[in-house]
Amino acid sequence: MVTRTKAGLLAGGRGFGLSTSALAVGIFLFTLTAVSIALIPIGVGVFTTPPVLEAVRVYANRRRSLAREWLGMEIAVPYRPLPRERAGVLGAVERCGALLKDPATWRDLEWLLADMTAGAVVAMLAPALLLYSVWGVVLAAGVWKPIDEAGGGLWFTFVHITSQSTANLAAVLGFVYAVLGLFVNPALIRANFAIARSLLSPTREQALALRVERLTETRHDAVDSSAAELRRIERDLHDGAQARLVAVGMSLGTVEALIEKDPAQAKALLAKARESSAEALTELRDLVRGIHPPVLAERGLGDAVRALALRLPVPVEVDVELPAGRADAPVESAAYFAVSEVLTNAVKHAGADRIWVDLSYGSGALRISVTDNGRGGARVGGGSGLSGLERRLGTFDGVLAVSSPVGGPTMVTMEIPCALS
């Protein structure tokens, strides 16, 4: 009952905030948008509409964030990428046109209309049920009498307050409203967000268009990553193993010339050639491990991550809860190198002295979380390593989320849709 009471009171407070926001911010933004669009024919709206519509998007994204934080409800962002902002009239016209051509812009305006009407009413019911019950108690405490003496006509819902007994009945009815509010308020908040999701989520056409754009982007990223990897392999072979093997060949040629004239020198050169060949073999093994670790191919992702953790200079706890089956080799490889990069970042940049890795599978997706107790402050964007990692996971429709407040801890969560065989 305590949990139910807390949930009902919390939902009442949230309903008050949502309804107030809808009636204040929502109406203001809708009116400002309508006026700004109406001013486009005379040229003024070309400059005012983009910032106003971007403010609407910020407001809509805030509602998406609240849906995720409060209810765990995901509302996808359907906006098309905007052109690079340029100064001058042509840049303003281009940006304004792109915003107005995006169907998500008009759905945002539809949501503002729905939110300031039906959404506001639904959200307002949550605090109203609780506050109205207080009014019943206030009336029963004697406030009804001066109101009745001043002219009467006082009603509490369907109860006409004319005496102390009817005032007491109002208090009882108010108690019923309070209990009802504790039970239905969470559902009212969910209903408000359901209205938002119906209009803020992408339509089927928008989802398909965004899917095509994402696939195009991730395809380019995959091609670029493959080209960069090939260049790295070529450079490592040229500067490492290839150079050592050439040196071994030259040493063997010298040995062939000295083996009869100076056996001792020839023997020393053979020893150096053997050392060089061993070093070349080690470098080739490291190179192969960098392309696809043998332990990953032979024993799977869980054991490969455990082996990776053992090579780090800080303690790493690895918790693996994977079914017997295995994902496709490209997915396992992407997951392995993603974990490797996050672990490397935690050691080199976060200054962590303890790391936790959790691997699990459920609902058709491989889930990996890497947590460290470092200094925090990690973020996706700005050309960081996590941005590149996010793009590479996007090739597999994977997602990456980072929680890293300043001072730590940092948690990097990755999810890759896949099937096990």
* Same domain? 267 vs 308: no
* Same domain? 19 vs 66: yes
Within-domain flag for 359 = yes
User: Could you tell me the residue range of the domain that residue 173 belongs to?
Assistant: 2-200
Confidence of residue 137 (pLDDT cuts 50, 70, 90): confident
Within-domain flag for 333 = yes
Within-domain flag for 174 = yes
Residue 311 in this model has a pLDDT that exceeds 70: yes
Residue 309 in this model has a pLDDT that exceeds 70: yes
Q: Output phi, psi for 374, to 5 deg.
A: -80, -160
* Same domain? 135 vs 167: yes
* Same domain? 260 vs 386: no
Please give the Cα distance from 330 to 396 (Å, whole number): 9
Please give the Cα distance from 84 to 94 (Å, whole number): 9
Confidence of residue 213 (pLDDT cuts 50, 70, 90): low
* Same domain? 89 vs 164: yes
Number of domains in the chain: 3
Of the candidates 226, 278, 235, 225, the one whose C-alpha atom is nearest the C-alpha of residue 391 is 225
Please enumerate in sequence order all residues whose Cβ is within 8 A of that of 8, keeping only pairs 6 or more positions apart, or say none: 130, 181, 182, 183, 185, 186
Within-domain flag for 257 = yes
Please give the Cα distance from 124 to 120 (Å, whole number): 6
pLDDT the model gives residue 115 = 95
* Same domain? 332 vs 346: yes
Task: Indicate the average pLDDT of the chain.
Answer: 81
End position of a domain, from candidates 262, 291, 320: 291
* Same domain? 261 vs 320: no
pLDDT the model gives residue 351 = 79
* Same domain? 59 vs 177: yes
* Same domain? 117 vs 58: yes
CB 91 within 8 A of CB 97: no
Q: Output phi, psi for 153, to 5 deg.
A: 75, 20
**Which residue did the predictor score with more confidence, 249 or 366?**
366
Within-domain flag for 376 = yes
Within-domain flag for 155 = yes
CATH for 317: 3.30.565.10
End position of a domain, from candidates 177, 200, 223: 200
Residue 289 in this model has a pLDDT that exceeds 60: no
Q: Quick one: residue 88, left, alpha or beta (phi over 0 = left, psi -120 to 50 = alpha)?
A: left
End position of a domain, from candidates 291, 322, 346: 291
* Same domain? 22 vs 147: yes
Within-domain flag for 205 = no
* Same domain? 56 vs 192: yes
Q: Which residues pair with 357 in a beta bridge?
A: 318, 370
pLDDT of 56-77, one tens digit each?
Answer: 999 999 999 999 899 988 898 8
Within-domain flag for 43 = yes
CB 412 within 8 A of CB 379: no
CB 45 within 8 A of CB 33: no
pLDDT of 77-123, one tens digit each?
Answer: 888 878 776 666 667 888 899 899 988 999 999 999 999 999 999 99
pLDDT the model gives residue 225 = 57
For the record, the structure tokens of 264 come out as: 């001792």
pLDDT the model gives residue 78 = 87
Model confidence, pTM: 0.61
* Same domain? 20 vs 157: yes
Average pLDDT over residues 342-356: 84
pLDDT of 266-287, one tens digit each?
Answer: 667 667 767 767 666 665 665 5
Of the candidates 335, 288, 339, 290, the one whose C-alpha atom is nearest the C-alpha of residue 312 is 339
